[in-house]
Structure 1
Amino acid sequence: MGRTCVSCGALLPITARSHATTCSAACRVAKHRGARRSAQSSVGGEHGSTSRVRSVAMRYGITQASAVALLATAMCQICGTRAPGDSTWHVDHCHSTGAVRGLLCRPCNLGLGMFRDDPDRLRAAAEYLEKDHSAQPWVAA
Structure 2
Amino acid sequence: MSPLAVSPLPESSGDSEDFSDPSAELRDLNLEPLALFIRSVAVELRNRQKKCLAKVVKGLDEYKKHLLSVKQWIQDEKQQAELLLVSMKNLSDLLILQNKIQESITNQHKAAFIPDNPPKSVWDKQLKIHVILRNLALFMESTVRAIRFMN
**Which of the pair is proportionally richer in helix?**
2
- Taking structure 2 as the reference length, the TM-score comes to 0.20
With CA pairs under 8 Å and 6+ residues apart, which has the higher RCO, 1 or 2?
Answer: 2
- Taking structure 1 as the reference length, the TM-score comes to 0.21
**Which of the pair is proportionally richer in strand?**
1
